[in-house]
Amino acid sequence: MMQMQSRRFALIAMLAAVEVVILGMATFVLSGHSLWSWPGNAGYSPAQTAAGTHPIAPLAAGNAPAVYIDDPQSRVMVSPSTDGLVHVQDRTHFSGLAWGVGGAHIPPVTVTRTAAGVRIVRPSYHLGFIGFVTNGDQRIDVQVPSGSSVQIAHSSGAGVNGITNGVSVTSIDGSIAIADSSGNVSAHSDDGRVELRRVRGSTLDISSDDGSLHLTDVAANALTARTGDGSIHAQGITLNGSAPRATVHSGDGSVRVDGIFPGSGTYEISSGDGSIGLALASGSNATIAAHTDDGSMTLDGQSFHDDGSNQQALRVGDGSSSLRVSSGDGSIHITTNGVPNHA
């Protein structure tokens, strides 16, 4: 018995000593020191970035440059500049202890002038395992003339505000928000929410493989909003121009849409698995064909309940547009007085 207690005490003491050593290592490294020098540059080291030591000088690129941004591991934030120049601030940094071959060096952003505008690029990098992190961020802030066209080829999330000559954004992993912008707009996230607010354009195309879509006060001649898995909320939608068209689809999630659907258009609102709420504002002209494989249906307050599939038709205004509404598994609620439906 005495021998077993001694072993337990020794084990407890050893674990306590290991914790003390780990805390000491963390404190030492976070104070700016290096712990070890391992063969082949493999080992623990502080994460580093050149952003603070090498500021990026502003560039003159005209009033409407084409701005290309490619930084797969950073969140990219774009807003209008106040002086007509292109400004780039690399805010990526880490404070902590990292393990990995070659340390944890983060390559700097490179900014170059091109014939069409400006190119902003950071190569992909690997931080390895972060053992201790006190604070950190992976982000670049970009200010450009409001008349710029902006293409974000790769990012880990993005926010764009106040751009008037078109926006294209791709996020590998992270949400996208675009506001107060115009021109053709496209946004796709492999994994994250996509949001448009007060956006005007001939063509608006937003999608997410896995994330919800949110549209507020947007207008377009052609609108596409698709998500593989997530809800869709579209409020204050205006379709305009000749032969307007819209496709709003969720593979797995509820869909809520309210807006103006004018004549001579083609519209489709659908969910593979989820309920649909549709409210048509004054000025809409459409012949509605509504179908659900499994669910109830309400048209302007009148309920229709059938076992299994349910199909109904409704004419709004002169009925000159085609509007198809369908759900693979879910109820459908439609109102034609412009009142948003939250059923």
The DSSP secondary structure of 127-148, one letter per residue, reads --EEEEEEEEE-EEEEEE-TT-
User: One-letter amino acid identity for 192?
Assistant: G
CA separation for the pair 339, 34 (Å, rounded)? 64
Phi, psi of 282 (to 5 degrees): -55, 135
Question: Is residue 67 predicted with pLDDT exceeding 60?
Answer: yes
Summarised one tens digit per residue, pLDDT across range 283-332 is: 999 999 999 999 999 998 888 776 557 788 989 999 999 999 999 999 99
What pLDDT is stored for residue 92 in this prediction?
84
Q: What is the pLDDT of residue 78?
A: 98
- Classified as helix, coil or strand, 165 is coil
How do residues 208-261 score in pLDDT, each as one tens digit? 999 999 999 999 999 999 999 999 999 999 999 999 999 999 999 999 999 999
Q: Tabulate helix, strand, coil % of the chain (nearest 5).
A: 10, 50, 40
Region of 49 (left: φ > 0; alpha: ψ -120 to 50; beta: rest) is beta
What values do phi and psi take at 19, rounded to 5?
-60, -40
Query: pLDDT value at position 195?
Result: 98
- What digits encode the pLDDT tens for the residues 6-32? 556 556 656 665 565 565 555 545 555
Distances (CA, A) of 99 to 37, 46, 108, 130, 343: 12, 9, 20, 6, 52
Q: What is the average per-residue pLDDT within 123-136?
A: 62
pLDDT of residue 257: 98
Average pLDDT value for residue range 42-49: 50
> Going along 91-244, which residue ranges are E strands?
93-101, 104-106, 110-113, 117-121, 129-137, 139-144, 149-154, 158-161, 167-171, 176-182, 185-189, 194-208, 213-227, 232-239
Rounded distance between C-alpha atoms, residue 89 and residue 142, angstroms: 6
Q: Which residues lie closer than 8 Å to 282 by C-beta, 6 or more apart? A: 260, 337, 338
Model pLDDT for residues 143-200, shown as the tens digit of each residue: 999 999 999 999 999 999 999 999 999 999 999 999 999 999 999 999 999 999 999 9
From residue 193, alpha-carbon distances to 31, 190, 225 in Å are 38, 9, 12
Domain ranges in the chain are: 2-33, 36-192, 203-343
Chain position carrying tokens 């021998």:
3
Percent of the chain with pLDDT over 90: 66
* Best CA proximity match to 232, nearest among 214, 208, 258: 214
Checking if the pLDDT of 37 tops 90, the result is no
Residue-level pLDDT at 39: 37
- Between 105 and 215, residue with greater pLDDT: 215
> Using CA atoms, how far apart are residues 156 and 152, in angstroms rounded to an integer?
10
Confidence of residue 101 (pLDDT cuts 50, 70, 90): very low
Distance CA 221, CA 179 (A): 18
**197-201: long-range contacts, CB 8 A cutoff, minimum separation 24:** 201/166
CA distances from 264 to 280, 305, 308, 338 (A): 15, 31, 32, 19
pLDDT of residue 302: 86
Reported residue count of the chain is 343
CA–CA gap between residue 138 and residue 152 (Å, rounded) = 15
Strand, helix or coil at 195?
A: strand
40 pLDDT exceeds 50?
no
Confidence band, pLDDT 50/70/90 cuts, at residue 38: very low
φ, ψ at 293 (rounded to 5°): -75, -25
Q: pTM, whole model, 2 decimals?
A: 0.83
DSSP states of 230-285 as a string?
A: S-EEEEEEEE-SSS-EEEEEESSS-EEEEEE--SS-EEEEEESSS-EEEEEPTT--
- pLDDT exceeds cutoff 90 at 59: yes
Band the pLDDT of 46: cuts 50, 70, 90. low
Helix ranges restricted to H, the chain: 2-30
